[in-house]
Chain A
Amino acid sequence: MINMIPEIGHILLIMSTVFALLSAASHLIGSYQRNLYLIAFGNRLFYALFFTLLTALCSLVFSFIADDFSVAYVANHSNSQLALGYKVAAVWGSHEGSMLFWVFAIALWGAVINWRQATHSAKLDLENLQADKAYFGRVLAILALVILGFNLFLLFTSNPFARLLPNIPVEGRDLNPILQDIGLILHPPMLFLGYVGLTVCFAAALASLIGGKLPARHLDYLRPWVLLAWIFLTGGNAFGSWWAYNELGWGGWWFWDPVENASFIPWLVATALVHSLVLTRKTQGFTLTTLFLCLLAFSLSLLGSFLVRSGIVQSVHAFAADPTRGMSILSLLVIFVGAALLIFALKANLLRREIDFDLLSKETLLLLGIVILVVAAFSVLLGTFYPLIYELLNLGTLSVGAPYFNAIFVPLTFLVVLLMGIAPLVEWQNTSKAQAVPILLLGFGVLAIGFWVSLQAASGSNLFLLLGTAAALWLIVCLLLTLLVSLGVRKRTSANQITAKVPVKSRTSKQRFIGMMLAHLGVAITIIGASAVSNFEEEALLRMGPGQGKPLAGYILVYESTENVETNSFTAIQANISIRDGANDEVILGYVRPQRQTFKSNAMEMSHAGIDHGFWRDIYVSMGLQLSDTEYLIRISYKPLATWIWLGALFMMLGGAIAAWPIRQARRVEESEQLSTSSSSAREAVTQ
């Protein structure tokens, strides 16, 4: 019976491919002919697609749990000794399974959209209802087409259900030791959900383009999808970096590794997209910018997976290299992106809108911010692909590493942060000049303080530190100012309310404001953390054995003992090092326990860092080679404000979640707000 499960999974995967084809066809034809029966049929087919993929994924999970080593993927990535949680996580631990998980996640998200569409369009009149049904039909059709493409890719080049028959291995090779961590359980699914969110945005953008219409309510549908994609991508990137910091034992937290870039580039574009959507919702303009960013974000995420899965780059993350896979993903990329760009070129004219605003306005600043984010994304892309192109052109080999990316990225971030600070303070359409002067003065003040701080740095005057400090200060000061201004406005309006009946800010706009403030604060926190770690880190590389101590940054680290540790999957040599107060070495503040692990299944060696986390500083110790009978090469780092980097990411995610959180009753308020905005803006014009 157990041996049949993979075959059932395989058949289900084939069935889901057929369902994807049928669902896409009936949705497309249905929405083209405005045939609601056909669209409803397509919706049912999409559910069938979802359930077949769900069961296919479940059967793979089952094979992992049941240790069915006749399945090649299981035999290569699991082991009967592996803990149950890791067996399940191993499903997305490598190429084939992660592709299946990705496809399943697209189907899941599509099914949720399918299920929710009735609530979206409950209060519409008949004509709009039909239009919405056709719109959702197109969204689902495109999702089904994407699934179709990925499914064919899975079936023909990387089938997770491929068997090793008749010579079934007795025991599986182990899951890659690096991946045996809580990080593996959480980091890839988050990233995949982010990519899937971008896929949904891509589908929605194409659906709008094909329909040639983009009413405000479709933007409302798009908004949570964009925000969710952004939240998941933020989480995926931050979690990956946290995992690298804790597990890989290199001491860094961002390496500008090609695969990190592959997920970071879509994040940058998704960030631009979030802001572009704000622009479009507020001004009814910039529709093409928003739609194009949707297409771009998805294309770049696909390009990223091409980079990761084709094995053309050297990276710690690179999946097993296989040129046919690379070619297949490349052709998928060409088909999807080519079709999308063609539709964009054909239909863009229908969605063009003229709007009017001043050079000094929120519109300009947001637009510039979006442009710089996209430029940053393309710069990172350029740096990632340059060595490949360089080699292709027979110019020799080259590596583009962190120094290059920092030199390009830090100034661009600084510019974005400048805009981030001002934009919330500036009015839509135009701003009075009197408002601009204090902001400018403030800016110079902040720059001066930043300069002063950077002079205090041990390494002398450092431009990166200057930029980081100035950016963080500027952002925080501007956020405070924004808060004050908004409180002032609210006070004024509520005072006037009795006489003038000016509406107070609605609940949704308040919610979005809080979300924006938190996310921007998160950026400031991350910048502070990153600047502090890269400029004020103190480290020592030394030979240490039991009884030896080393003072560092106001602490004394004492090597207490060496210990042998054994777990299910590895044996390790562990150094027990106590952290003591620098002033009084009797006071023990904590212990760090770095390890050198040797995995039983494949004898692979890994160094696991010992970290004492704190709000103000991390103490990071990693254990190197054995130098004598008792002594090891020990690397100690004092990393001020290191946790702030990820704290900031948490703030960003929280801000995004607050902004995306649906409030049903708030929608009514918003509707009434929309009705009253025309009258209130007229009143404002009169009072000015």
Chain B
Amino acid sequence: MNPLFRSPYLCLLFWLLSLALCFGGATFLATAQEGPNMGASYQQQAIAISKELRCPMATNQTLFESQAPIAHELKGQIFSLLEQGLKRDEVIDFMVQRYGEKIRYQPEFKTSTFALWIGPLLLLILGVGLCLVLISRNKKSTY
């Protein structure tokens, strides 16, 4: 039979591994997408960037979605910055410098946002781990 389900520890390992896989994959994706997208034209790049920035005027809309005049202006500016040869990160940095950290829709990974990014993972490992440990201990005591 499959030894995976016989030992609680192997089972625990299995779950933790799949967890790690999922979250590892997610972070991989997040980093992989940040790589320079050489094939795309300036316009596509500008659209992609405008989807990651928040409109300073309209609440909770990205620059791409927003119809506010400032959003149109900024979209145009992103395009011209790209034409000048700036990279994606440089364009975003430029915008952050002008409008503050708030314009970034996806917060950066740094010490002050550590809790934001790690929190859910920590909660998950704690919750699931605690559950499994309690269940297996409960089981042992009845032997």
Contacts and interface: CB of A to CB of B under 8 A. Distances in A.
B116 A359 contact: no
Contacts of B47: 541
Nearest to B111: A395
Contacts of B106: 401, 403-404, 407
Contacts of A364: 131-132, 135
A587 interface: no
A221 interface: no
Nearest to A249: B67
A129 interface: no
A130 interface: no
A368 B131 contact: yes
Interface string B31-48: 000000000000000010
B83 interface: no
Nearest to A436: B5
A374 interface: yes
B136 A359 contact: yes
Given A434-B1, A463-B29, A398 B54 contact: no
A607 B58 CA distance: 14
Given A402-B105, A407-B26, A433 B5 contact: yes
A408 B28 CA distance: 13
Nearest to B52: A403
Interface string B76-112: 0000000000000000000000001111111100001
A252 interface: yes
A222 interface: no
B70 interface: no
A251 interface: yes
Contacts of A602: none
A376 B22 CA distance: 15
A400 B107 contact: yes
Contacts of A363: 135
A359 B139 contact: yes
A404 B116 contact: yes
Given A403-B52, A410-B26, A396 B61 contact: no
Contact of B67 (A412, A440, A625): A625
Interface in A319-375: 354, 356-360, 363-364, 367-368, 371-372, 374-375
A462 B25 CA distance: 10
A436 B2 contact: yes
Contacts of A403: 52, 105-106
Nearest to B105: A401
Contact of A437 (B2, B25, B105, B119): B2
Contact of A398 (B2, B4, B113, B120): B113
Contacts of B123: 375, 378-379
Interface residues of A, number: 63
A664 B6 CA distance: 43
A279 to B, nearest CB: 12
A407 B121 CA distance: 11
A312 interface: no
A257 B1 contact: no
A561 interface: no
A379 B60 contact: no
A414 interface: yes
Nearest to B59: A314
B117 to A, nearest CB: 8
B133 to A, nearest CB: 11
Interface stretch (A234-242, A382-390, A510-518, A653-661): A382-390
**Of B1, B4, B72, B102, most A-chain CB atoms within 10 Å:** B102
A50 B13 CA distance: 55
Interface string A441-466: 00000000000000000000011100
Nearest to B47: A541
A178 to B, nearest CB: 12
Contacts of A386: 107, 113, 115-116
A415 B19 contact: yes
A412 B102 contact: no
A434 B6 CA distance: 11
A7 to B, nearest CB: 38
Contacts of A359: 8, 11, 132, 135-136, 139
Contact of B54 (A251, A401, A440, A625): A401
Contacts of B28: 463
Contact of A372 (B1, B52, B124): B124
Contacts of A378: 120, 123
Contacts of B5: 360, 431, 433, 436
A359 B7 CA distance: 9
Interface in A383-434: 383, 386, 390, 395-404, 407-408, 410-412, 414-415, 418, 431, 433-434
A483 to B, nearest CB: 23
B102 A399 contact: yes
A672 interface: no
A343 B107 CA distance: 39
A401 B53 CA distance: 9
16 contacts: A359-B139, A367-B135, A382-B116, A396-B101, A397-B100, A399-B104, A403-B106, A412-B124, A418-B18, A431-B5, A433-B1, A433-B2, A434-B1, A437-B1, A463-B25, A464-B29
Interface of A: 250-252, 255, 257-258, 314-316, 318, 354, 356-360, 363-364, 367-368, 371-372, 374-376, 378-379, 382-383, 386, 390, 395-404, 407-408, 410-412, 414-415, 418, 431, 433-434, 436-437, 440, 462-464, 467, 541, 607, 624-625
